[in-house]
Copies of this chain bind each other. A is one copy, B any other.
Amino acid sequence: MSRSNEGEAQGSKSPSGSDFLQLDIGRAPPGGRTDWLAGRLRAAIADGTLPVGSRILAAELRVSRGLVTEAYQRLAETGQVAGRGRGGTVVVAAPPPSAVPAAPAPAPDRGGLVDALRAVPCRIDLSPGVPDLTAFPRTAWIQAERRVLAALTPADFGYGNPQGTPALREAVVGWLARNRGIRADPDEVVVVAGVAQALGLLAQVLHDRGVHRIAVEDPGSLGARQQLEYGRMETVPVRVDEAGLDVAELRASGAGAVLLTPAHQFPTGVVLDGERRRDLLAWAAGGGLVIEDDYDAEHRYDRAPVPALRALMPEGVCYAGSVSKLLAPALRLGWLLVPPHLRDAVTAAKRYADLGNPVLAQLVLARLMDSGELERHLRFVRRRHRRRRDAMLRAVAEHLPGARVHGAAAGLHLMVTFDGARFDDTDLAAAALGLGVKTHPLSWHRHRPGPPGLILGYAAGTAGEIEDGITTLGTALSGLPDGGRKVFPQGRQPPGGSRVVRG
């Protein structure tokens, strides 16, 4: 059974995007029709007209079959489409800017690959980065909001402090002291609309000060990299190994700032070890700025909490966190601790971004933090997340026997790699999406080449969904043209059992 047939059988939920393209082959230059068509398709993928997961049916393009086949070939070479045949070709865009050539009109992938994938309907969503959303404490939230509304003065409904309401800044300080070992003053806190906004504000402030290059982890979050690049920063990939970010490579890069995830590296799950921490803080003491994205540090299962870098060195570290993985991304609420020399500039950037976060939700969150309700919620979801992680580990061991598991000790996702395998993980992700299961290919989050892999979120699904999703991934893997023969060509990973690396 070929991929394309599976796509036809199972992919009925995938949107068909090609009828939006309105291609007019008459506009192609003579002798350059293949390039022209491939360019139009690339542009449509880059600007989101043709979203990830779309099926491109040759018949719909209203151009000759031979031309379509050639254009597909071009796109397949750069990893942008996968699958051919009656089922159509599924768009699996590779991350810009490395793989997606410039569109005819200047159209960088501003919609964001991750957004595009989010919009694709699916049966089981194993995308990383989302907690158990069924657990959102609706009753506690509405009760807190009722109390907040009853206590508000009319002036509180006016324009607020762009830095954040004092009540929330104090509550955040308490939260960080109790949960992350951080001592801070409420004046150091800037309330933001999540870590994405925090990165945008910092990019602006750094750029204004002449810092135009920022180091990022490799592998590291594609979304964070795109955020910084939209903010006019050049991102410099720095290698992550078993000890975390390679600080020697950071030093050699000449970047003036670095963004990293030291407590539970995204996506590998590695913890920045003691020696690297000391070395990184020495680098920061020399004038480098560390941006610490503490994105899921509260979610740990098998180990003691890792202290935040900010707890060790307040001066050289901007510390960012949010409720996206504690409560829900839809709240768009987070915090940034800013060292004194950047505080006014970051507050001004926040002011001009939106005049400050909405006040009601800030006060509700402050109340949930102060009352202990948020800690109760965290303990509750941590138990659920742990059970789901265990379900995923069992399923991976059974259905993806060649997979190596990384970073299972904490967080909301696993990374699996197929070490030694030669297939392209965007092919695997596309095949899985065709079967209704959404994941992130590891290559999305990587600059340098490496073994294929997937990022698998386990927090948002039930144990049954996780079992089903991983089983489907096994089916997708075995359906790859080289799945059976080439996954372990060098015999480095004997099938029959997955190795779990405790990150």
Q: Does A62 contact B (CB under 8 A)?
A: no
Kindly provide the distance from the CB of A266 to the nearest chain B CB, expressed in whole angstroms: 15
Q: A159 and B354 in contact (CB under 8 A), knowing A111-B348, A145-B142?
A: no
Kindly provide the distance from the CB of A113 to the nearest chain B CB, expressed in whole angstroms: 12
Contact, CB under 8 Å: A196 / B360 = no
Interface bits A342-362 vs B (CB < 8 Å: 1, else 0): 001101100111111111110
Bound state CA distance, A360 and B119, in angstroms?
Answer: 19
Contact, CB under 8 Å: A111 / B194 = no
A111: chain B residues within 8 A (beta carbon): 344, 347-348, 351
Residue of B nearest to A327 (CB): B157
A161: chain B residues within 8 A (beta carbon): 119
Q: Does A110 contact B (CB under 8 A)?
A: yes
Contact, CB under 8 Å: A149 / B154 = no
A154: chain B residues within 8 A (beta carbon): 133-134, 136, 460
Kindly provide the distance from the CB of A285 to the nearest chain B CB, expressed in whole angstroms: 23
Q: Does A130 contact B (CB under 8 A)?
A: yes
Q: How many interface residues does chain A have, given as a range? A: 35 or more
Contact, CB under 8 Å: A355 / B133 = no
- From B227, B352, B356, give the contact of A352 (CB < 8 A): B227
Q: Does A181 contact B (CB under 8 A)?
A: no
Interface bits A316-359 vs B (CB < 8 Å: 1, else 0): 00000000000011111100000000001101100111111111
Within 8 A of B (CB), among A121-168: 129-130, 133-134, 136, 138, 141-142, 145-146, 149-150, 152, 154-162
Within 8 A of B (CB), among A218-264: 226-227, 230-231
Q: Does A447 contact B (CB under 8 A)?
A: no
Bound state CA distance, A356 and B134, in angstroms?
Answer: 21
A156: chain B residues within 8 A (beta carbon): 330
Contact, CB under 8 Å: B328 / A115 = no
A344: chain B residues within 8 A (beta carbon): 47-48, 107, 110-111
Contact, CB under 8 Å: A333 / B348 = no
Q: Does A45 contact B (CB under 8 A)?
A: no
Bound state CA distance, A146 and B119, in angstroms?
Answer: 27
A129: chain B residues within 8 A (beta carbon): 159
A47: chain B residues within 8 A (beta carbon): 344
Kindly provide the distance from the CB of A336 to the nearest chain B CB, expressed in whole angstroms: 13
Residue of B nearest to A49 (CB): B344
Q: Does A7 contact B (CB under 8 A)?
A: no
Q: Does A280 contact B (CB under 8 A)?
A: no
Contact, CB under 8 Å: A353 / B155 = no
Q: Does A112 contact B (CB under 8 A)?
A: yes
Q: A358 and B332 in contact (CB under 8 A), knowing A110-B352, A149-B142, A200-B353?
A: yes
20 new A-B pairs (CB below 8 Å) besides A111-B351, A118-B158, A193-B355?
A110-B348, A110-B351, A133-B154, A133-B158, A136-B157, A138-B152, A142-B145, A154-B460, A156-B330, A158-B328, A158-B460, A193-B354, A196-B354, A197-B354, A226-B352, A227-B352, A330-B358, A332-B355, A332-B357, A353-B354
